[in-house]
Structure 1
Amino acid sequence: MFRWFKKKPPPPDPNAPAFWKAYLESMAATAYDKKTPIEEIGFVVFDTETTGLDVQEDQILSIGAVRVKNWQISVEDRLECYIHQEYYPDGKTVAVHGILPGEKRHSIAESEGVRRFLEFVGGDVLVAHHAAFDVAMLNAAIHAAGGGKLQNTVLDTGVLARRAARNPQLARPGTFGLDHLCDTYRIPQSDRHTAPGDAFITALLLLKLLHRLQKRGVDTLGALRSAPGMGL
C-alpha cells in the first residue's frame, strides 16, 4: 500500500542507513493535501530498465527521472544513473535496452543509485507507466541497501489513460500500453526503452492526460487518486 495524503511515514530505525533517515525526514516535511491543485503538485516521473521482469530474480540496470510541476517538465531537473551489475539472470532484455552485463558506462553501485533516487524524489508524487513493477524493483533495491519501502503517493499513467478514455470498456488489448498511447497522443518516441527516455516520454503523456482530465473536473490530487486501480 502506498502513502496516502498527510500520512506520516514510520519512524526510522535508529540503525537505518543515513540515506533512508534523510528520505523519511523529507517525506515528513512534504504533505500534499487531497485538495492540492494539480498545478501545485510536484511530480517525479520515473522509469527503470532491468535485467528482466522477475522482481525476485532480476536487477535494476538504470534509473531515469524528471520533475514536473505547474504544467511544465523541468528538463534541467532530472536524474539519470546506470547501475553496475555483474551478470544477468537472463540476457534477453539486452536487445531492448542495449545495456550489457557488467558494462561500466559511468555505472555506480546499486545502493548509490537508490540513494540518489530517494534524494531526488523526496516527498513528491511518483509517476510511472505500469508503475507497480518499477516500484517493486526499487523497493527490492532499497531493502537490499538497508532501507524500507517507498512511502510516496504513486500514480500510474496507464490507469490515468484508461480513465481519460471515452469508452475504456471497449478498448482493444494494448490500447493503454505506452507505445500505443504515444501514437494516440502524438508523442515522439525518441530514446524509447532507455530509462531517461521513457521517463521523459511518460512525463509528456502525463501532461496530456492531466489536461484532458482537468476538463472533466479532475483537478486535485484527491481526484487523481480516486481512479479505480490507482492504489496499485
Structure 2
Amino acid sequence: MSLFSWLLPRKKPSLNPAQQQRLAQLTAPAGLNEHTLRAQRWVVVDLETSGLDLNRDQVLSIGAMVIEDGAIDLGQAFERTLLRTDNPLSPSVLLHGLGPSAIAAGCDPVDALLDFMAFVGDSPLLAFHAPFDQHMLGRALKDSLGYRLQHPFMDVAALAPMLCPQVNVREAGLDYWIKHFNLQVEDRHNASADALATAELALILFSRLRAQGIDSPHALQQRLNQWQRRKQVHSF
C-alpha cells in the first residue's frame, strides 16, 4: 500500500437491498429525558481500533453491555469483530487479541454496524473516554452506511472525577478506577471486557448520583456540563 493511500477518499460500500432496508428501519435516538437513571436503558460501548488516529485508523471490534433496571443485563451483551478486506491491518491488532483467526471470523463492516445500531435502538451510550469512541464510531457509520450518529454519548471518564473530587490523579484511566473501587475484572483489554468494566463503574457512579439527588439522564448531563465548564475556567 502506498504511504499516501490513506489520503485518498474511501469508497462507500454499496448496500444490498436487505442492508438498505435494515438501515431504513433503524430507530432514531430518543435523546436524554426525565426517566430515572434506573429506568433508562443505557448501552455501554467499547471499541478496539487499529490505532489512535481519529481520521485514519479503523474500528476493529465493538463490544457493548446494557444497563437496565439498575443492573447489567448480561443477556443483552453484544460483540462483533469487523472483517476488513479493503485495507491490510497492522500487526498491532495482536495487542487487542485480534489474531488472524479472529479477523478471518469477523463480520462484514456494514452488517456488523447495522447489527450494533439495531442493538442500540434509541438508547443513549456510555463509554470511557467517550469522545474518542463517539468520533470513531460516527466515522465508521458514515463511511460504511452513510449514517449520521446522533445518539447522546456520555463520558464515564468525566463522571468518575466529577463524583470523586478527592481523587487527585490527572487523567486517570479505566485501570485506575477499577483498582480504586476494587472491581473484580478479568480478561481486560478486549472490547467486551472493557465494556463490562465500564458498566460496573457506571453503576457505582449512578449510585453516587442518586445520593446527591441527581436521578435523571437529563439532570446528569446538565451537572456534567456545568462541571466541565468550571474545569475549563479553572484551567486558565
Please tell me the TM-score bracket, short chain as reference.
0.7 to 0.9
Gaps in structure 2 of 5+ consecutive residues: 1-16, 230-236
**Secondary structure, in 3 states, of the residue corresponding to 1:55?**
coil
Q: 1:164 to 1:56 in 2, by over 3 A?
A: same
Say which structure is richer in helix: 2
| Superposition RMSD in Å | 2.2
Gaps in structure 1 of 5+ consecutive residues: 1-14
Question: Highest CA radius of gyration, 1 or 2?
Answer: 2
TM-superposed deviation, 1:146 = 2.6
Which residue does the alignment assign to 2:91?
Answer: 91
Which residue does the alignment assign to 1:183?
Answer: 179
Taking the aligned partners of 2:169 and 2:77, their CA distance within structure 1 comes to 34
Which residue does the alignment assign to 2:23?
Answer: 20
Taking the aligned partners of 1:98 and 1:38, their CA distance within structure 2 comes to 34
Taking the aligned partners of 2:166 and 2:145, their CA distance within structure 1 comes to 45
TM-superposed deviation, 1:150 = 1.4
Taking the aligned partners of 1:120 and 1:67, their CA distance within structure 2 comes to 10
TM-superposed deviation, 1:48 = 0.7
Deviating more after overlay: 158-167 vs 221-230: 221-230
Percentage of pairs with the same residue: 29
Checking the alignment, whether the CA contact within 8 Å between 2:42 and 2:67 is kept in structure 1 is yes
Deviations 1:9-38 (A, max 9, x none): xxxxxx993333222xx226x4652x2211
Residue identity in the other structure for 1:222: H
Which residue does the alignment assign to 2:170?
Answer: 173
Which residue does the alignment assign to 2:130?
Answer: 131
> For 1:1-232, what aligned pairs fall within 5 Å after superposition?
17-23=20-26, 26-27=27-28, 30=30, 32-33=32-33, 35-86=34-85, 87-88=88-89, 90-95=90-95, 97-100=96-99, 103-104=102-103, 106-167=105-166, 171-175=168-172, 177-226=173-222, 227-228=224-225, 229=228
Residue identity in the other structure for 1:74: D
Checking the alignment, whether the CA contact within 8 Å between 1:38 and 1:219 is kept in structure 2 is yes
**Secondary structure, in 3 states, of the residue corresponding to 2:28?**
helix
Checking the alignment, whether the CA contact within 8 Å between 2:31 and 2:152 is kept in structure 1 is no
Aligned length: 207
TM-superposed deviation, 1:115 = 0.5
Taking the aligned partners of 2:131 and 2:147, their CA distance within structure 1 comes to 16
Checking the alignment, whether the CA contact within 8 Å between 1:44 and 1:126 is kept in structure 2 is yes
Deviations 1:59-114 (A, max 9, x none): 111111111112111001111111112422x433522x121368435211111111
Q: TM-score, normalised by structure 1?
A: 0.82
**Secondary structure, in 3 states, of the residue corresponding to 2:154?**
strand
